[in-house]
Amino acid sequence: MDANIMERGYFTPNDPGILAETDSLSIQNAVDAALKTGLGRVVIPRYNKRTGACQWDVDKAIILDSNLEIVLDNCYIRQMDGSMDNVFRNFHDGHERRTLAKEQHDMPAMT
């Protein structure tokens, strides 16, 4: 990983190796890298290096997981026309969810 990224403590969608063919994929790459490295922080800046504009066009949901901080640094995020998804969505959406009943299986019932 780039030493500059480690020093500043976060990823951006503009980082080398993160930048992709769409804004959604660039942001998702930054999220995935932040989770994989344990930095846990993504900053989406105003300037979009891929397009040269001060706008991020999202065509599908950015999938987030726990222990992640997303900072919107004076940026403009636009959901693309025709997109039928959220801009951000939790990783567990559509997956089996853990419930308190599963977590508290050894606890006596309160009466």
Cα–Cα distance measured from residue 101 to residue 11, given in angstroms and rounded to the nearest whole number: 37
Indicate yes or no: pTM above 0.85.
no
- pLDDT tens, 73-90? 999 999 999 888 889 988
Residue found under tokens 């190796």:
17
Angle at 81 between CA 54 and CA 13, to 5 degrees: 35
Domain boundaries, the chain: 3-103
Token representation of residue 97: 């969810």
Token representation of residue 16: 């080398």
- pLDDT tens, 1-24? 688 898 999 999 999 999 999 999
